[in-house]
């Protein structure tokens, strides 16, 4: 009959290896992304790096790796309106403000509604 005797250090290393294998591993910390999103329409503007994009809802933004920066769609910078240098005065109104513009293009560019041709009286 052969008798095996284990060295105490070997037994200790095997026990330690078994304990390390049993330690649960936690996922790496980071932004969590939802697995599924609803089709609810509650538009948001999301940002990732220097890029912005509109999404139907905040869940869809996060699912795409974007951070929600505000409610509503992303606004694009307004392009300046180029109007001709023609003098054809119009009278325009915005709220309670009446104003004469050199032409209708300039009135519309200033968010005024043209009321009639000619100067305001």
Q: Where are the domains of the chain?
A: 37-77, 79-121
> Does the domain formed by 37-77 have CATH 3.30.465.10?
no
pLDDT, residue 78, reads 67
Whose tokens are 């869809």? That residue is: 60
CA–CA distance, 82 with 106 (Å, rounded to integer):
9
Whose tokens are 């290393």? That residue is: 13
**What is the average per-residue pLDDT within 89-101?**
95
CA–CA distance, 56 with 48 (Å, rounded to integer):
16
Spell out a b/e string for 56-72, using b for 16 or more CB atoms within 10 Å of the CB, else e. Answer: bbbbbbbeeebeeeeee
pLDDT, residue 39, reads 87
> Does the domain formed by 79-121 have CATH 3.30.60.30?
yes
Whether 56 and 41 have beta carbons less than 8 Å apart is answered as yes
pTM above 0.95, yes or no: no
């Amino acid at each position: 009959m052969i008798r095996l005797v284990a060295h105490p250090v070997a037994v200790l290393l095997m026990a330690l290896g078994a304990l390390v294998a049993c330690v649960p591993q936690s996922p790496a910390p980071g932004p969590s992304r939802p697995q599924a999103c609803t089709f609810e329409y509650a538009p948001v503007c999301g940002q990732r790096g220097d890029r912005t994009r509109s999404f139907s809802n905040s869940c869809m933004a996060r699912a795409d790796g974007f951070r929600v920066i505000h409610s509503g769609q992303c606004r694009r910078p307004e392009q300046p309106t180029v109007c001709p240098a023609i003098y054809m005065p119009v009278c325009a109104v915005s709220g309670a403000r009446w104003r004469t513009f050199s032409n209708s293009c300039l009135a519309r560019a200033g968010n005024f509604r043209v009321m009639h041709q000619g100067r305001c009286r």
